Every structure is written in structure tokens, then in C-alpha cells.
Amino acid sequence: MGAVQDNFERLPLKDFAEKAYLDYSMYVILDRALPHIADGLKPVQRRIVYAMSELGLTALAKYKKSARTVGDVLGKFHPHGDSACYEAMVLMAQDFSYRYPLIDGQGNWGSPDDPKSFAAMRYTESRLTAYAQTLLSELGQGTVDWSDNFDGTLQEPVMLPARLPNLLLNGTMGIAVGMATDIPPHNLVEVAGACIHLLDKPDAPLEQLLEHIKGPDYPTEAEIITSADEIQKMYASGGGSVKMRAKYNEEDGNIVITALPYQVSGSKLQEQIAAQMLAKKLPMIEDLRDESDHENPTRLVLMPKSKRTNIDEVMSHLFATTDLEKSYRVNMNMIGLDGRPRVKDLREILVEWLTFRTETVRKRLQYRLDKVLARLHVLEGLLIAFLNIDEVIAIIRFEDNPKQVMIERFGITDIQAEAILELKLRHLAKLEEIKIKGEQAELEQERAQLEATLGSKELLNNLIKSELEEDAEKYGDNRRSPIVAREAAQALDTTALIANEPLTVILSEKGWIRAAKGHDFDVESLSYRSGDGFLDVAKCRSTQPVYVLDSTGRVYSTTPHDLPSARSQGEPLTGRLNPPPGSLFKYLLAGNPDDWYLVASSAGYGFRIRIEELFVKNKAGKALISLPDKSAVVKPAPIANPSDLLAVVTLQGRLLFFPIVELPELTKGKGNKIIQIPTKDLSTDKDRVVAMVAIPVNGQLVVLSGKRQLTLKVNDIAHYSGNRANRGLYLPKGFQRVDSLVSG
């Protein structure tokens, strides 16, 4: 047994896995996910269209059950899953997904609201649309290369002989391994115009082509609002994005939305708007109704609360916050004529497709020419037979090998002799010179025409142009998506969307937060969860953010208007914010954007900061104050006036006053020294800053120590005043264990 094993081919697992993955990747790219530039179809779509044409399901045929069609596609050409195959078929039938549908369906083929809600294939019926003929009409005319199907029993076309650049007309989306494609749909008339222009002027730059192709044309009447420059850049690079915006108008004071961007669900949109209304973020809208019906597939009605509501402003907000405005990625990646995937710009696509089209037409004409020449050859033989009819009949009747005898007797070819023999004797007898010569004359004329066209580039181009014009006339239509340059949508400021009312925000020791309406709220009377209690409070307005400072010196911001009511026990702040592990929420801050605060560490360093500088969008907050070793954050002190004095007191009872302007304005950092504290005392926790407060120049300071309090007047303050970073002086005995300082 061991000897047998030795002869086996051995391959390292790494090499095997790598090759297997690369093979799979290339299969997905080339045989599944990406369209071909020639007919703009992926293999599954090509197989569906071809199989349906083979079943005779043209636009004039009776509808046939989709399940039978899918069965045929799977049985003959596409050995994969039936549901994925049917899904590809459905997509080609949806007039809201495809700009020029290839399949005409009966039954439930999904709706714009829910494209995936189509009926099972056993319930739907289908046939090809008239437009599908642009892919199929030249199929039997020598224009196609054939390959074996999966089991080698049938032949299938490698590519369909498209008369139009279907890739651009219907666009496509696909995800391969390591690459994707997103080609938007375009208008047939515009694309045909650009192709004709390129045939007339092969060196025409992209700018001239864009005079014909204004931009994508989606199967919806919503507006494309991307600027012309952006569209040009997109076509020049083969990638970019297109922005679409819903159409609306005003009727009796109501906003009526009549067209939605491509593949936007009306019901999802309603959910988005309703969610804003529930969250009280659309106070100017009273009601939302869906009045869509068969005649008006899209009709969403928004009812403003008052006649004074600025409708354009509201819509601008909705464009910015809902799917009423949507961006579509463009990445024109496809398999080229060289069989390789690549992103191509618009000019490259058209030039390459025209190369394919020219070759297809050349093959078609050559095939026809060969047919004409073959028939002329046969007619020559028939004419000889007619002129020697009696002899021919005698040879056929009496000779054992009539074919050979005729070849030798009349000097005709094998093909001509075969054609004579294929005619029945009674037909031979009826041969007429006029008919033969008449057919010869017609065919000679056609031959001359075909040879002239094949021999002249100009005539060939004229033929292609006339066919493009014919198809544009037959299948073309007006642009559906208007291109309108619009200003960028602007979401309404939070302040405009929320009622401006006073709030009191309460933070508990365990980091739970809640809010009460009004500023005269009794925080003492609140109930807390067991083991929890009151920590801090901030008074603000519902339109202002609330800032939270944690034990690591980070600051976070949150909106107070959507905080739970103070009647409840609130919600944990960690649900809204994402603090580092081990940190604790310590203080709340709030105020107008221009209000100032003093931020400091217990090591005696700090700085001034405007409250708007504290704002941070991300949940993880931002570092505000750097804390030296063994120090903590001190409760920030509000600064009412730049001329205020700062009072700072340490654990040992040392008090210092100095003008607050001596401290710098910073946005973050350690700050400057406020009061001198020996490093040894800091490290052993014998001394640290315990409280600070800003007081007016002629104000008073109240020192609270246990149940006792000491009021310091102007003269006393002068006694404790000094320069920034001084050591400060001891407070009187009995007041050296300070709990807090209050501006009197």
C-alpha cells in the first residue's frame, strides 16, 4: 500500500489552496459577475436570453411559464441554482430596475417598493420584449462564435451579436472577487447619437461625446443633481458617483413627493420620516400619508403644521437625512474584447463596442456574400442543366453514377452536380431560363453591393450608422431622469428641530443620566437604584449639548433633549458613550458656546477653555486634560467674566487668589501651574487641590468646612492674593479641611 502512495502527486497545501482560490476568483470574474462589453450581459443573462429565443418566446409569442423557461436554461446551458437564475431573469423583466427590459412578464414580478417580492417562477409567465431583438436578430447570420455547453451536447453563443451598446443602456451591477462593477443605465437615443458621432469623427474627444450623452438615465423620474463637471470627471476616469434627488411639488400647502431615486423603497422612506417625527426631530410636519395608486405609483404627502413652514428648507433637511437623496457608485468595470477585466472610460467603451459591432457586421455581410456566391454557383449549374435538359434527364435515368458522368460531360463542379441531382425530375423539367437568369441578376446585384460595402470602410460605417438610427427610432424614448444642478442639501440645525426649553441634567455616582424640565428642580428628592446616589447636576437648554468629564481627563458630549425623564432612574451613560476601561464619569458641564470654564488637575495645573471647544462627535470622546501621576480631575469652575479672580484651595488648607487671565487659553493639555504643591506631598497624598472657584473682583468667598462656613471679604481676599503658582497661605484653624468654595 505504501508503494502506491509514493506514486501520488504531492502538492504543498499552501500551493494547492492558493491555486484553488485564484482559479475560483478568475471563474467568478470572467464567468459570473462581470458583464462583457460586446452585449453587456453576464453569462447567466446571456443564457436566459438565448434559451428563450431558442424556445421561440419572442415578443409576438404566447407567454410561457417561467419555471419551464428556467428549467430549459438550467438543463441546457447553465448548470447552477434555479433560484439565482430566476432572480437574474426577474431583474431583466423589472421596468423599474432595467431601463430597457429584456423580458416581458405576466404575474407578480416585484414592485418598486419591494423588488424582491416577486412570485415564485411556477406562478409567473414570460417572453422576450421587442428590445431583446437587438441582441438576437443577427444570431443565425454567421456573426457568432459558438462553444460547447457544459456537457458538450449543445452549442451556445460565446457572445450575442448586439446591435446596440446594451452595456451602457441597461447598465449592470456585480460583485466579483477583489473587484466590482457598477455601470449606470443610459438613454438609447443619446448613446446611439454618440456612436454615430464617433463613426463620423473617430478622433472625437470625450467632451464632444458628452454633448450627446448628458449623463446616466435611470428608470425613474427623480432628478440627477450631480454637476456637469463631476459627470465629465466620472466618464473620463470610469469611476465616481452620481447623486439623485426625489421630485416634489406643493399642492394646497402640502408637500407631495412624486418620484423617488432609483431603487429607493417608498415604505422604507416612510419609516425614515416617521422615525424622525416620533423622535420629535420634525416638529414642523404634522402628518405623513401614502396616496400611491396604479395611476400614481409614487405619491407621498407631507402635511406641514402651519402655512408659514418653509417647505424648501424642510425638504432640504429630508434630502440630507433620508433616502430622498441617494448617491450611486459608478465603477465601469467590464470584460473587454481582449477577455480581460478593466475599468474603462466612456470613450474607450464606445470605441471598443464599435470595433465589436464593425466586426459583427463584417461577419454578417461576409456570411451573406458566401451564401450569395454559393447560390450563384448552383444557378450556373442549373442553367447548364436547363440548356442540356434532355441529356441530363437521360444521364440521371440510365447512368449508374450520374454525378460523375455529369461532371465529366458538362465540366461542372461536385456542388453543382449535387444541386442538379437534388432537384426532382419533374422539377428539372420545369426549369425556366428566365427565372434562373432573373435570380442570377438579383444575386449579382446583391453580390456587388456586399463586396462594395465590405471593401469600403465608409460604406460599412454608413451601414452601421443607418442601423443605429433605425434602432434608436424603433426602441428609443425620451430621457426619464432630468439632469438638474442643485445646491447641496442641508440638514436643519438641531436647534431648529427641537423645542428650546430649560433642562436640568442629573448624573448619578454609577454613571446613570436623566433630565428634568425646568431649572428649579429639586435634585435631592430623586430616587436612585440601590447602591447608587447623586453625583453631579448641570443646567442647560434642550438645544445645547451636555458635556461629561471622566476620571481620565477625557470629555464627551451628548444631546440632552432625548434623555430619559427624571421620574425614571435614567439610563447608563455607557449606552451613549464609549469611555476607556476603568474610567468613571465625574462631572457635567453645560452652557452657551461662548461660556468659559477653568479645567484643572489636583496636581495644581490647569487652563481656560471655551465650552464650544469641548464638543466632540465620536462616542469615545477626546482627551482634554493631561493628568500628572497620582492626580485627579478637579470639578471645573465656570468663569463669568475674564476679569474674575480665581480662588484655589488645597487639602492642607492653603488658599491662593490671583487674576484668572494669568492662566492660558488651551484646547487640551496639562495647562500651567495654578498653585505650588511640593512633589513629595503630592506623591504621598498629603496635599492636592480640592476646590476652586471664580469670583468677581469685589466679590466675597464662602469657605465651607463640614458644617462651619467662613466668609472672606475684599480685605481678607487681598491677604491671600499672590501670583500664579505661589504656595498660598493657610486658612484659619478649624477651616483647613475645606469641602468646597462658593462665590458669595
Nearest to 250 by CA among 182, 295, 311: 311
Joined together, the cell numbers standing for residue 106 give: 405576466
- What does DSSP assign to residue 303? E
Angle between helices 346-387 and 414-422 (to 10 degrees): 70
How far is 376 from 513, CA to CA, in rounded Å? 96
Give the ranges where 476-503 is alpha helix by DSSP (H).
494-497
How far is 703 from 379, CA to CA, in rounded Å? 124
| Marked catalytic residue, from 86, 100, 123, 597 | 123
Angle between helices 346-387 and 389-398 (to 10 degrees): 90
* Interior angle at CA 621, CA 626 and CA 524, nearest 5: 90
How far is 439 from 421, CA to CA, in rounded Å? 20
Nearest to 509 by CA among 578, 418, 584, 452: 584
- What does DSSP assign to residue 608? E
563 SS3 class = coil
CB 92 within 8 A of CB 111: no
**Residue 78 amino acid letter:** H
Nearest to 741 by CA among 640, 638, 666: 638
- What does DSSP assign to residue 32? I
CB 511 within 8 A of CB 572: yes
Q: Which residues contact 684 (CB under 8 A, 6 or more apart)?
A: none
Nearest to 537 by CA among 555, 554, 560, 562: 560
How far is 382 from 389, CA to CA, in rounded Å? 10
Joined together, the cell numbers standing for residue 177 give: 472577487
Name residue, grid cell 431560363: 433
| CA–centroid distance for 35 within its chain | 19
Joined together, the cell numbers standing for residue 648 give: 484655589
Q: How many CB atoms lie within 10 A of CB 436?
A: 17
* Interior angle at CA 389, CA 388 and CA 395, nearest 5: 90
Residue 123 a catalytic site member? yes
How far is 404 from 535, CA to CA, in rounded Å? 116
Q: Which residues contact 316 (CB under 8 A, 6 or more apart)?
A: 489, 490, 491, 492
* Interior angle at CA 698, CA 692 and CA 704, nearest 5: 35
| CA–centroid distance for 297 within its chain | 24
Element (H, E) at 28: helix 13-28
**Residue 742 amino acid letter:** V
The residues with which 502 forms a beta bridge, in sequence order, are 541
* Interior angle at CA 607, CA 712 and CA 666, nearest 5: 150
How far is 221 from 261, CA to CA, in rounded Å? 8
Cα end-to-end span (Å), the chain: 100
281 SS3 class = coil
Angle between helices 82-93 and 66-76 (to 10 degrees): 120
Element (H, E) at 513: strand 512-517
Catalytic residues: 123
